Chain A
C-alpha cells in the first residue's frame, strides 16, 4: 500500500510534467532501458542521447497518454523510436566516416550472440531485443510496436532463425 501511494503520487507528478518525477521513473528502470538502447546502438553516448530525447518527449507529450496503465509501454515505444532514429542517422554517417572504436569490453564478456543481432534485419532485431533482452510479453510487444500478435510471433521466429544461421556460420571461422 505504501508503495502504491508513492507510485500514484509519482504518476500524478509525471502527469503534471514534473521533470524530476519523470527522470526518477527512468532512473529506476535505467538498467532495462539501457540494455535495449545498447542492443541497438552499442555506444553509450548514443544511449545517453536516447534517454535524453525520450525523457523530453515523454515530458512534452504526457497529455496525449490516455490510460495510465499503458505508461510503460508508451514510454518504451518512444524509446524505441529514438533508438531507431539515431541508428538510422549513424548508418548514414557510417558510409562516410568509419565508426569510432567502441569502449573496451571486459575480456570475459563475449557478446557473441548479441553482436550478431546487428546483422539481423531491423524488424526482426527489434522484437528479439524486446522479448529476450527486456522480457516483454508478445502482447506487450504488440502494443509497443503497434503490430498484431501474429506478426510479432513470426518476426521472433524469423529473427531467431536468422541468428542461428549467423552463429552457425560464424562458428566455422573459429570463435
Chain B
C-alpha cells in the first residue's frame, strides 16, 4: 500500500535525502492523504522538540575541570604500570627521515651531538637574519624563581606560527631544566590573541644545543596571532628536568620530574604576513592524481598544501614525500623539527588525503616559479593473513607471508606477555614492514606496550646497512628504506585480568615505498 511506503520514507524526507523523483511523489501523496500528512506533521513536531529541548541541556559550570581532575587522578594511579607508547621503532624511522631532509649532501655527521650543534648554529644564524630583515626581535625578557632564571631571548612570528626562543639557567648549577609544552605553561591572554578554534595554542617544542651543563636552550612553537601584533602573556609554573639530548617533542621513556616555580613574561610580538600562492596544478602517481593547492611562503617556513586521492582501496597511497622545493637552482628541504617535513595527512571526504609538506623558508627568495621534487610514495597494501600460535607447542613456530618466512621465536606468557618475532630478509622480500595484531582464542586483541624493532636499510643501489649503526648517519645513504627483521614486543590488556595468551597473529597490510624522480614545475602568481 502506498501509505505504508510513504510513511517509511518520512525520516529520509525530513533529512532531505530523497532524490527528486521520490520527493515529488512523496509531496504529491501527502498533499492528498490526510493520514500520511498527519503522520508527517507529528514526526516533524517530535523531531523539532527533540532538537529544541536538546539545546536547553546545559553543562554545569566547570564540568570539564572536574573531568580533567578525575582523569589526572587516574593517571597518577597508573604511573606504577607506566606504559610506553608502542612506537619506538617508528619514532626512530621518523628521525631518520628528518636527517635525510636537512643534511642533504652538504655535510655528514658522525654523531648526533655534532648534527645537533650544527642545527643549533643554523637556528642562531637564521634568527640574526630575521632580526636584520626586521622580521624578528631580540626581546630578552627575564624572570627568576627558586634559583632558576628563564629568559625569552627572541621571537619571530608569521601567519603560520609564532616561535619563541628561550633559555633556562639553573643558578645552582646542578640541573638542566626545559619547558614541557604540554604541562605547566599557559598563555594567560590566549583568548585575545588567537582565534578560538585553534587548539592547542602551544603546539610544539624544540630543544637546541647548549654547551653549558646548566643552561638549556629551546624554542616554543605557538599558534599564529589573529591580529598583526600583540603581547603574549606567558606564565610558567612548572619546568621539566632535562636530560642531555632532550629535544622535547616526543614522549619521554621515564616518568617526568618537575620543578615548580613562578615565571611570568610579557612578550611583544609583531606578526609578518605570509605570501600565499593559490596553485592549481595536477600530477599523478601510479594512476593516482595529486593536486597541488596552495603554497604559503612565510618567514619561518614554507608550506605546500596538496591533495591526493586513493583511487584503489587495496593499494592506497599512505603519504608521499616531497624531497625538496627548488627555486632558481636553490633547494629547500623539509625541516621536520620546524614541524615540517613528512606530510601530515588529514583525510577529507571521498577518499582524498589532504596534506601539508613543510620546508625551510623561501621568504627572502620570493620566487616566481618553483619545482616540486617528489621523492617517493608510500603505499599501504592490504593483504590479510592469519597465523595460529600454539603456546603448548615448541618454538619457533613459523609461517609464510608473501614468500617471506615469519618466525615467532619466543613467547613468555604473563600479565604482560613478551614475544620475539623475526622476519627473513632476502632478495625475495616483497614488503618493508607489515601491520599486525595479536589475538587470543576468544578473539580479543591486545595493545602493545612496547615494540622495539630492528632491521636494515637498503639504499638506492641496493646496499644493505644495519639500522642501529646508521641511526645518525642516514644522510650518508641515498634514499634509504627500512626493512624490519626483528621485533621485541610486549603485549598487555588493561581491562582484563590474568595472563595474556596469544593464539593468533593477524596481519592486515604492509608498507611499500616506491621512488620517483618526478619534478613538477609550478609558476607562481602573486595574490593580493
Identify the A interface with B (CB < 8 A).
1-13, 16-21, 23-24, 26-28, 30-31, 34-35, 38-39, 44, 48-49, 51-52, 55-56, 60-61, 63-64, 66-69, 108-109, 111-114, 128, 132-133, 137-138, 153, 156-157, 160, 163-164, 167
Q: Is the CB of B346 within 8 A of A132?
A: no
Closest to A28 in B: B199
Shortest Cβ gap from A165 to chain B (Å): 10
B49 within 8 A of A: yes
> With A114-B50, A128-B50 as given contacts, are A11 and B346 in contact (CB-CB < 8 Å)?
yes
The 5 closest A-B pairs by CB, nearest first: A8-B344, A132-B50, A69-B347, A113-B49, A133-B54
B354 within 8 A of A: yes
Q: Is the CB of A23 within 8 A of B67?
A: yes
Q: Is the CB of A4 within 8 A of B356?
A: yes
A26 CA / B53 CA spacing, docked (Å): 22
Shortest Cβ gap from A148 to chain B (Å): 15
Write out the residue numbers on chain A whose beta carbons fall within 8 Å of the beta carbon of B15. 137-138
Write out the residue numbers on chain A whose beta carbons fall within 8 Å of the beta carbon of B68. 23
Q: Is the CB of B200 within 8 A of A24?
A: yes
Q: State which residues 200-245 of B face A: CB under 8 Å.
A: 200, 203-204, 223-224
Closest to A2 in B: B224
Interface string of B80-119 (1 = CB under 8 A from A): 0001011100000000000000000000000000000000
Q: Is the CB of B198 within 8 A of A16?
A: no
B296 within 8 A of A: yes
A9 CA / B43 CA spacing, docked (Å): 43
B183 within 8 A of A: yes
User: Which one of B58-66, B368-376, B389-397, B414-422 contacts A?
Assistant: B58-66
Q: Is the CB of A109 within 8 A of B56?
A: yes
A21 CA / B74 CA spacing, docked (Å): 16
Q: Is the CB of B250 within 8 A of A16?
A: yes
Q: Is the CB of B63 within 8 A of A19?
A: no
Shortest Cβ gap from A56 to chain B (Å): 6
Other A-B contacts than A16-B87, A56-B71, A112-B53, 20 sampled, CB-CB below 8 A, are A2-B195, A5-B344, A6-B200, A7-B346, A20-B182, A23-B64, A24-B200, A30-B59, A34-B59, A60-B494, A111-B56, A114-B50, A132-B51, A133-B51, A153-B11, A160-B11, A160-B46, A164-B42, A164-B43, A167-B46
Write out the residue numbers on chain B whose beta carbons fall within 8 Å of the beta carbon of A67. 347
B5 within 8 A of A: no
B57 within 8 A of A: yes
Shortest Cβ gap from A54 to chain B (Å): 10
> Which interface class (under 10, 10 to 19, 20 to 34, 35 or more) fits B?
35 or more
Q: Is the CB of B11 within 8 A of A51?
A: no
Shortest Cβ gap from A8 to chain B (Å): 4
Shortest Cβ gap from A169 to chain B (Å): 13
Cβ contact of A16, chosen from B56, B251, B303, cutoff 8 A? B251
8 contacts between A and B (CB under 8 A): A6-B223, A9-B339, A18-B251, A44-B63, A48-B63, A52-B74, A56-B74, A60-B447
Q: Is the CB of B42 within 8 A of A24?
A: no
Cβ contact of B43, chosen from A38, A48, A138, A160, cutoff 8 A? A160
Which of A10, A30, A49, A132 has most B Cβ within 10 Å?
A132
Q: Is the CB of A132 within 8 A of B251?
A: no
A76 CA / B463 CA spacing, docked (Å): 48
Q: Is the CB of B85 within 8 A of A16?
A: yes
A17 CA / B43 CA spacing, docked (Å): 43
Write out the residue numbers on chain A whose beta carbons fall within 8 Å of the beta carbon of B8. 153, 157
A48 CA / B62 CA spacing, docked (Å): 11
Closest to A164 in B: B42
Q: Is the CB of B160 within 8 A of A5?
A: yes
Interface string of B29-62 (1 = CB under 8 A from A): 0000000000000110011011101101101100
Closest to A167 in B: B46
Write out the residue numbers on chain A whose beta carbons fall within 8 Å of the beta carbon of B51. 132-133
A6 CA / B75 CA spacing, docked (Å): 25
Write out the residue numbers on chain B whose beta carbons fall within 8 Å of the beta carbon of A112. 49, 53
B294 within 8 A of A: yes
B305 within 8 A of A: yes
B448 within 8 A of A: yes
B70 within 8 A of A: yes
A27 CA / B201 CA spacing, docked (Å): 14
A5 CA / B340 CA spacing, docked (Å): 10
